[in-house]
Amino acid sequence: MQVYHEFPPVFDEKSKILLLGSIPSVKSREEGFYYMHPKNRFWKVLESVFQEEILDKKEFCLRHHIALWDTCASCEIHASSDASIKEIVPNDLSVILNKANIKQIFTTGKKAHEIYQKYLYPIYKREDICLSSTSPANARKTLADLIREYQTLLKYVK
């Protein structure tokens, strides 16, 4: 099924890091925001890394200089399975990169990293750091593992 990214990136001119997923899950598309599947651990990981409860996700990201978007503007995907992604049209990262002083780009999962490397790195020539996916499909990583790995974000937002 062809899916289009239907909600805007989260960022402002003070954003210092850009976190890129692949494309929003079915649940995220329904809710119109990032990482909204109830079993996705993304927001729990950020709560632990930044040591605060997240009451307003967008406000939290902006206050901590985090930009959020995805590598795909559209693609064919079956349900929310990254493994099924094909026919990729990448997002135009200049929307963010021309307005914010992004110090580091992070991809959240292997598929986002592969898409970034194939379609976006050749344009922007900026290395990404691939973090493990927080998706429930990545069951081999515990919440504690993810929290330790995502601590690296703190180096770039201070």
Q: Which residues participate in catalysis according to the annotation?
A: 40
Q: Exposure of 38 by Cβ count < 10 A (0-12 exposed, 13-18 middle, 19+ buried)? A: exposed
Q: How many CA atoms lie within 13 A of 103 on its CB side?
A: 13
DSSP secondary structure code for residue 10 in this structure: B
CB atoms within 10 A of CB 48: 17
